[in-house]
Each structure stands twice: as C-alpha cells, then as structure tokens.
A and B are shown apart, each in its own frame.
Chain A
C-alpha cells in the first residue's frame, strides 16, 4: 500500500518538474529513523526518489506555502489535513490557488511516538515501519511488532472524519474506512479546567514551535512578538503563557483544521489540541461550520449575519 502511493507521488512530482509546471515540489523524505520524516524540497526531476509516503509523514506541509507559493508555482503533497489547511490559506487569500499543484494522498492516521512507549518499544530500536489497512508494522530487533492503526495513531487522528484530501489536482489512494470516535468536550467545572491549564502552562518555554508549525499562524507579526503592546510579556511563566496560548486558540477559532501539529511539535508536551478542539466544538455548535472544507466559504469569524448566535448568549 505504502509503496504504490509513494511511487505515484514520485511520478507526479517528476512529471510536474520536467514539464516545468512547477519549480518546486514539497513532500516528505526519510528522517532520522523509520519513525521520523522530514519535509523534502525537491527542485529537480532526478531527486524525486527521495520522496516518501508513510504514516510518519507528520508535517502539515501547507505551512510552507505562504512563503514559497506567493510568487512561484509549486507542488505540494497533501494529506487530508494539509489539504484542509491549503483550503483555509486560499480562503484567507494567503496563497493563490493557481500557484499550487496539490498532490493529494489519503490517510488513515499519523503514528504517534507515544504509542511505541505504550507498546514498550524503544525508538532507537525501530529499524523499519510499514503498514497495511489495519495495522502498523514496526521492525524491531525482536521481529516485527504489529500495532492496530487505531492504537498507533495520534489522539486527533482517532476522531478524524476526513480521510481523503478535500482539494487536490491529483489524488492517490483509496479513502480508508475508519470509525471515528466522537470528539468529547473537556470535562470538569470551570475551576477544574482552570486549574488544569494553569498546571499545563507552567511548562511552556515560549519557543513558539506550536505557532511556527501551524499553517494558520502566518501573521507577519504575532501579537506575542509585540512586547511593546503588553498583550503578553516574553516571560515564560504560566500566566503569560496562558495569555499566549489562549490568544492563539482564539485566533484559530473557525480556522484550525485540527491537524495536531502544534501539540506534536511542543517539546514540553502541552496538550494544546485540547484547547483547539474545545474551540472548534463551540464554532461547530454555534455556526455549524467546519473549517478547511470549502475555499469559497466566508471565513466564519470574518462574516456576520444578524441571526448569528452571540457567543455571550445575548441576542
């Protein structure tokens, strides 16, 4: 399954580069080890064999587009998540549609390092990674370990309902049948949630990995980089980090497509997606809106109807 899609990606990349339709193809290539991939910037047809596709292709490649696709024709390999981010970027006029060739791939979820820990497999021992419809196959010194995909994938992948790219110029693979778990709102009282987050934000070191991996965080100047405005200082204490993360979550309302990259990128393991999911649930409930599905749709918070629900409950 893996190799077939991988082969098609390479062929398409080759065709696009050779025909001159694009000057750059962004995909994934092998990383430090089988459980890691790294973004690949392929500029010539003889380099397309570096491109890979597997369940470790975690980076949401849409993040590069506002920088590279403004003035040049590029192709990008897009998982369903990546394709939804591209939709958002087109919708928000950050990327001209005509500059991007989207090589879509279907996806049954991205593997999570933590699942290895649960399976008692040390990352340094992993020497291979493969998968079929239902399982992840991990090469270890003790032979191939098999993990059901549903166990091996990230939290956010378990509730994902979009397994095929929503926008693409070509798409490879069949959309897998996955029974998505329902998204549950955070439990507990207001005070409990507050205490939970206060504890989490203590760890934030303000490295902004969460913001930088996020395709929706493309602001030229983030409010957190404006100490003169005093929205939030550069201190890494819980209350300042609180302001940053809550501010970011609010700015992502109706825009976050839930790829989970921010949470994965966080070196301090902050459960950032808990916030984003919560906000997304509210947006869904209040406005019946799912971001990143339709490039023609008005951005939900950039649009107002008299009958819109008032988030504060006043009509």
Chain B
C-alpha cells in the first residue's frame, strides 16, 4: 500500500507547493471554537482517486490569508471526501471559521507518515485522546473500526475540559459498537452524567493490560506527559506507544526547515512516532 501512495504522490506532486481546489461541502460546528470541514476536490479524477493514510496531514489554503497544517481527520475508508477539524486560534483558522458551505479552499495533501495499522493487526488497541488531539485519532480509530475483524479489543478514552468541548459527539455511537468508549471531562455540568476527571487518571482506573496491546495518545503536551507516565507504570513499552508530534510547519515537504528536530523532519518522518522513536530525537519535547 505504501508504494501506491508514493506513486500517486510522485505523479501528482510534480509541484508539491501547488494546492488543489476543493469545495467545502459541509461544515460541522463541533464546539464553541472548533469546526470540522468536509471538502471535496474540484478535479473529478482527484476526487475519485485521492488516497491517503490515517495519520497523514494536509496544508489547507484560504487564498489571500495563507495556509495552515491540519491532520486528515476523516478515515480513508470513507471515500469521496476529506475532513479536517479546525480550532480557531487566529490567522488562517479564523478565516476558515468564517467560510460558508460551497466556498473553495486549496488543499495540498497527503503529507507525512501514518499509523502502522498493518503491524497492529491482531492486537488490542487503546486510543487516548484529549481535546483537539482527538482529530488525528479519529482517522485511525474509524479506519480500524471499519476493518474491525483485523483487530482485537478496541477502546477509546476521550477527554475534554467540559462536556461542551467534546468533538465528534455524533460518532460516539459508532465508537461504542464492538468497542469501548470512555468519556471524561475536567469539569462537568448539570446534564453531564459521565465521568469527571483527567484523561491520565481515567487511564489508570481502566488499567488496560499491556500484553499484545498498542496505545495511541494524542492531546495537549501536559496530557501526553502524564498519559505516557501512566502507560509506563501499567507496563507498556516505548515501542507499544504511539503519538503524533505537533510542530509548526509551512511547506510539508521537508524543505522549509521549520519542523526539524535532530535529523528528522516532522512533516516527512512524522507526524506519527512511537515513543521508542521519540527517545532517539533530541529532547525538544
């Protein structure tokens, strides 16, 4: 499969700086500051044949404002469109939030590596996500659920500050089918009947067994730090734990130098890293 991607990449990426036009077909308001955009390529051939892998990212343009990096949050098992979730922090993200359905954006994709889901076949998977960190994990989670028979137990721990900060609520039923979903919030409200507490604490309560299990964790650095410590305490080895690294990017193609850490470039060698791989990088995280 990887060679396929590279072939397509090569063919279409004669000029990797040229975006492809795409129509914003649907905008889902996830929370007060986050929206998910469903985009469809204008070029028919690209729309049909665009292939990517869970964990890869894209550069999205609002022409005249600029470009910004987002992970592909949709699963490649869902064809015909791509999705990305945007937290409004200013600049391009603000411009994206101001778009209406039917307007056009530019997309350069797919970039970066992906989760090694083939190596994970037959294993149990535990996804540990916090806040917007759920966006890159949604792709791999949905992919694994769409190929349910290939994997053992699948469980997800997903936390946010408040119930109102939880994204992808419309998919929670799917995430529970033949799998487990544990939601937690830092601060509940009157309508919240679920768990209250931080993600790493929730992880300890559930205490998944490390045998034949892969843990994937994405979220704010502080959450990852504690989730990682807890996973280690539970007996997970660095090789069993994966994350996506976040680093400022511009080109996405390993040239602009922004996401350089040691001899690696997050945009080429990442964003997906196992903690064993991260140990080999200079300690910039």
Q: Which residues of A contact B (CB under 8 A)?
A: 227-228
The smallest beta-carbon distance between B183 and chain A, in angstroms, is: 36
The smallest beta-carbon distance between A229 and chain B, in angstroms, is: 11
Decide yes or no whether B201 CB sits under 8 A from chain A: no
Decide yes or no whether B16 CB sits under 8 A from chain A: no
Where chain A touches its partner, the secondary structure class is helix
Decide yes or no whether B164 CB sits under 8 A from chain A: no
Q: How far is the CA of A227 from the CA of B65 in the complex (A)?
A: 9
What 0/1 readout, one digit per residue, does chain B (41-62) give for beta carbons within 8 Å of chain A? 0000000000000000000000
Decide yes or no whether B91 CB sits under 8 A from chain A: yes
Residue pairs across A and B with CB atoms within 8 Å: the count is 4
Q: Which residues of B contact A (CB under 8 A)?
A: 65-66, 90-91
Q: Which residue of A lies closest to B91 (CB)?
A: A228
Q: How far is the CA of A228 from the CA of B94 in the complex (A)?
A: 11
Q: Which residue of B lies closest to A227 (CB)?
A: B66
The smallest beta-carbon distance between A77 and chain B, in angstroms, is: 36
Residues on A with beta carbons closer than 8 Å to the beta carbon of B91: 228
Q: How far is the CA of A228 from the CA of B67 in the complex (A)?
A: 12
Q: How far is the CA of A134 from the CA of B91 in the complex (A)?
A: 57
Residues on B with beta carbons closer than 8 Å to the beta carbon of A227: 66
The smallest beta-carbon distance between A221 and chain B, in angstroms, is: 13
The smallest beta-carbon distance between B248 and chain A, in angstroms, is: 14
Q: Which residue of B lies closest to A228 (CB)?
A: B91
The smallest beta-carbon distance between A227 and chain B, in angstroms, is: 8
Residues on A with beta carbons closer than 8 Å to the beta carbon of B90: 228
Residues on B with beta carbons closer than 8 Å to the beta carbon of A228: 65, 90-91
Q: How far is the CA of A228 from the CA of B90 in the complex (A)?
A: 10
4 pairs across A/B with beta carbons < 8 Å?
A227-B66, A228-B65, A228-B90, A228-B91
Q: How far is the CA of A227 from the CA of B64 in the complex (A)?
A: 11
Residues on A with beta carbons closer than 8 Å to the beta carbon of B66: 227
Q: How far is the CA of A227 from the CA of B91 in the complex (A)?
A: 10
Q: Which residue of A lies closest to B95 (CB)?
A: A228
Q: How far is the CA of A57 from the CA of B91 in the complex (A)?
A: 43
Q: How far is the CA of A80 from the CA of B66 in the complex (A)?
A: 46
Q: Which residue of A lies closest to B92 (CB)?
A: A228
4 residue pairs, one from A and one from B, having the closest CB atoms = A228-B91, A228-B90, A228-B65, A227-B66
The smallest beta-carbon distance between B215 and chain A, in angstroms, is: 38
Q: Which residue of A lies closest to B94 (CB)?
A: A228
Q: Which residue of A lies closest to B65 (CB)?
A: A228
The smallest beta-carbon distance between A233 and chain B, in angstroms, is: 11
The smallest beta-carbon distance between A220 and chain B, in angstroms, is: 16
Q: How far is the CA of A228 from the CA of B62 in the complex (A)?
A: 13
The smallest beta-carbon distance between B271 and chain A, in angstroms, is: 25
Q: How far is the CA of A38 from the CA of B65 in the complex (A)?
A: 41
Q: How far is the CA of A227 from the CA of B92 in the complex (A)?
A: 12
The smallest beta-carbon distance between B90 and chain A, in angstroms, is: 8
Q: How far is the CA of A227 from the CA of B90 in the complex (A)?
A: 13
Q: How far is the CA of A51 from the CA of B103 in the complex (A)?
A: 63
The smallest beta-carbon distance between B67 and chain A, in angstroms, is: 12
The smallest beta-carbon distance between B62 and chain A, in angstroms, is: 12
The smallest beta-carbon distance between A144 and chain B, in angstroms, is: 47
The smallest beta-carbon distance between A281 and chain B, in angstroms, is: 40
Q: How far is the CA of A203 from the CA of B66 in the complex (A)?
A: 26
The smallest beta-carbon distance between A225 and chain B, in angstroms, is: 13
The smallest beta-carbon distance between A51 and chain B, in angstroms, is: 35
Q: Which residue of A lies closest to B90 (CB)?
A: A228
Q: How far is the CA of A106 from the CA of B90 in the complex (A)?
A: 49
